[in-house]
């Protein structure tokens, strides 16, 4: 690519025909909406990582604040970013026309982004495939999937890194069942104490900082392969909606620590063979805490089924969808009832013998 072409693609316009350039997932470059000419995205891929308690958090990423504008949805309150060539836009969450926000954009710029790996058409195909292999989705829905609206949105999240040292002390147990001379079964527990030190290392623990998406919703579509992250460039968001962060990194610290604490507990317990936990006290010290501000790709599917509104989220990198899909009450009831019936049958058979 020559200098003139790079300059033109940075300005979001096609050198050949003046058309708007949009990010093209299949080729991971920019493509002209009018004449389909492709432009490479130049990226040295140096992602800035911030120390968690540092004062200055400003990242110089592609003049994010100068080029883009912050819009506020008057209906649902989402902070939506519009890039330089978008003049009017509807809120990707609720469809309301957006109004420009007077407030200066919050001063933290995205450090990294995971670009969309496939386009809307492919997202639609993945949605159908995912739904069809989900046992709990009603057959009626699988046969006639309702028309849906697809929105590609980059949602804001923080990725936290940390080293941890934990000391722990607890009591676990194993259960033993034996049958006495009268044929009655008894269960006894044998307890054993555990204690020690556990070292761990965490990278890119994802905490959403969106005003619209909840941590439960994002956990429905993670993991993202963060190794494929790119240093943020405006080129990746062209043609897509972007939500700017609504919660600060400070406000997200307790959430990340509770996720890490859960992992630590699980990793400690994995060292032992046991049937149950009586108690486990863990005390952890954190060091080398860092974070990045990420934009993560999400496709959101909106549709109606039996007069109920659904919105299903899909990971824009892997195609994984969350569990917010129509479910058959009959199929759920059957999966609970059948094992119970089998147990009942065994008990009855036991008494007959
Ligand atoms: Zn063109
Ligand atoms: Zn809205």
Ligand nearest, relative to CA of residue 97 = 2
Ligand nearest, relative to CA of residue 31 = 1
Residue 173 lies in a domain: no
Q: How many A from CA of 38 to the centre of ligand 1?
A: 8
Q: How many A from CA of 145 to the centre of ligand 1?
A: 36
Question: In this predicted structure, what is the pLDDT of residue 148?
Answer: 87
Residue 16 sits in the same domain as residue 67? no
Residue 14 sits in the same domain as residue 142? no
Please choose, from the candidates 244, 233, 232, the residue with its C-alpha nearest in 3D space to the C-alpha of residue 292: 232
Residue 226 lies in a domain: yes
Residue 141 lies in a domain: yes
Q: Are 238 and 23 in contact (CB under 8 A)?
A: yes
- Report the distance separating Cα 164 and Cα 185, nearest Å: 44
Ligand nearest, relative to CA of residue 19 = 1
Question: In this predicted structure, what is the pLDDT of residue 99?
Answer: 65
Question: In this predicted structure, what is the pLDDT of residue 171?
Answer: 97
Residue 38 sits in the same domain as residue 53? no
Question: In this predicted structure, what is the pLDDT of residue 244?
Answer: 87
pTM score: 0.85
CA distances from 47 to 113, 124, 190, 271 (A): 9, 31, 51, 35
Q: How many A from CA of 242 to the centre of ligand 2?
A: 12
The gap from C-alpha 123 to its chain's centroid, in whole angstroms, comes to 16
Question: In this predicted structure, what is the pLDDT of residue 172?
Answer: 97
Question: In this predicted structure, what is the pLDDT of residue 212?
Answer: 85
Residue 140 lies in a domain: yes
Ligand nearest, relative to CA of residue 15 = 1
Question: In this predicted structure, what is the pLDDT of residue 301?
Answer: 94
Residue 95 sits in the same domain as residue 131? yes
Write out the residue range of the structural domain in which residue 35 sits.
Answer: 1-42
Question: In this predicted structure, what is the pLDDT of residue 322?
Answer: 93
Q: How far apart are the first and last CA of the chain?
A: 83
Residue 4 sits in the same domain as residue 85? no
Residue 187 lies in a domain: no
Rounded average pLDDT per 10-residue block, the chain, 353 residues: 69 85 93 92 89 71 72 82 68 77 67 95 94 91 90 94 97 92 88 97 95 90 95 88 88 94 96 96 96 95 93 96 91 85 83 66
Q: How many A from CA of 98 to the centre of ligand 2?
A: 8
Q: How many A from CA of 86 to the centre of ligand 2?
A: 17
Question: In this predicted structure, what is the pLDDT of residue 77?
Answer: 82
**Backbone dihedral angles phi then psi of residue 307, each to the nearest 5 degrees:** 65, 15
Q: How many A from CA of 233 to the centre of ligand 1?
A: 21
Q: How many A from CA of 110 to the centre of ligand 2?
A: 22
Residue 216 sits in the same domain as residue 236? yes
Residue 101 sits in the same domain as residue 33? no
Residue 93 sits in the same domain as residue 2? no
Residue 231 lies in a domain: yes
Residue 132 sits in the same domain as residue 32? no
Please choose, from the candidates 214, 344, 217, 194, the residue with its C-alpha nearest in 3D space to the C-alpha of residue 279: 194
Residue 305 sits in the same domain as residue 230? yes
- Report the distance separating Cα 224 and Cα 294, nearest Å: 11
Q: How many A from CA of 33 to the centre of ligand 1?
A: 7
Residue 38 sits in the same domain as residue 51? no
Question: In this predicted structure, what is the pLDDT of residue 103?
Answer: 55
Residue 176 lies in a domain: no
Q: How many A from CA of 236 to the centre of ligand 1?
A: 18
Q: How many A from CA of 96 to the centre of ligand 2?
A: 6
Q: How many A from CA of 52 to the centre of ligand 2?
A: 31
Q: How many A from CA of 93 to the centre of ligand 2?
A: 5
- Report the distance separating Cα 149 and Cα 299, nearest Å: 10
The total number of structural domains that make up the chain = 2
Residue 22 sits in the same domain as residue 58? no
Ligand nearest, relative to CA of residue 72 = 2
Ligand nearest, relative to CA of residue 243 = 2
Q: How many A from CA of 12 to the centre of ligand 1?
A: 11
Taking only Cα atoms into account, the Rg of the chain, rounded to an integer number of angstroms, comes to 26
Q: How many A from CA of 35 to the centre of ligand 1?
A: 4
Residue 98 lies in a domain: yes
Q: How many A from CA of 346 to the centre of ligand 1?
A: 72
Question: In this predicted structure, what is the pLDDT of residue 7?
Answer: 66
Ligand nearest, relative to CA of residue 17 = 1
Indicate the DSSP class of residue 272: S
Q: How many A from CA of 90 to the centre of ligand 2?
A: 8
Question: In this predicted structure, what is the pLDDT of residue 352?
Answer: 67
């Amino acid at each position: 690519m020559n200098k003139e072409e790079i300059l033109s693609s940075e300005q979001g316009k096609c050198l050949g025909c003046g058309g708007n350039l949009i990010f093209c997932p299949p080729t991971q470059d920019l493509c002209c909406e009018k004449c389909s000419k492709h432009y490479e995205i130049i990226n040295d891929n140096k992602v800035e990582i911030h120390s968690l308690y540092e004062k200055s958090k400003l990242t110089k990423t592609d003049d994010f604040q100068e080029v883009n504008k912050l819009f506020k949805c008057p209906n649902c309150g989402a902070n939506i970013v519009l890039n330089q060539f978008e003049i009017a836009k509807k809120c990707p969450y609720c469809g309301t026309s957006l109004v420009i926000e007077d407030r200066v954009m919050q001063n933290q710029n995205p450090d990294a982004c995971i670009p969309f790996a496939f386009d809307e058409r492919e997202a639609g195909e993945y949605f159908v495939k995912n739904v069809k292999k989900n046992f709990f989705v009603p057959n009626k829905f699988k046969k006639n999937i309702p028309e849906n609206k697809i929105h590609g949105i980059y949602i804001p999240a923080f990725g936290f890194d940390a080293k941890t040292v934990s000391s722990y002390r607890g009591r676990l147990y194993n259960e033993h069942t034996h049958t006495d001379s009268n044929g009655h079964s008894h269960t006894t527990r044998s307890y054993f104490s555990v204690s020690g030190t556990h070292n761990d290392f965490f990278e890119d623990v994802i905490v959403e900082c969106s005003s619209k998406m909840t941590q439960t919703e994002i956990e429905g579509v993670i993991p993202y392969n963060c190794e494929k992250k790119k240093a943020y460039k405006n080129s990746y968001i062209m043609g897509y909606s972007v939500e700017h962060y609504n919660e600060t990194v400070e406000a997200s610290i307790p959430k990340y620590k509770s996720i890490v604490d859960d992992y630590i507990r699980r990793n400690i317990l994995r060292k032992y063979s046991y049937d149950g936990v009586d108690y486990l006290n863990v005390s952890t010290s954190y060091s080398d805490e860092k974070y990045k501000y990420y934009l993560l790709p999400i496709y959101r599917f909106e549709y109606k089924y039996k007069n109920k509104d659904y919105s299903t989220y899909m990971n824009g990198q892997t195609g994984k969808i969350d569990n917010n899909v129509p479910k058959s009450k009959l199929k759920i009831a059957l999966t609970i009832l059948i094992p119970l019936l089998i147990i009942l049958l065994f008990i009855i058979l036991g008494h007959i013998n």
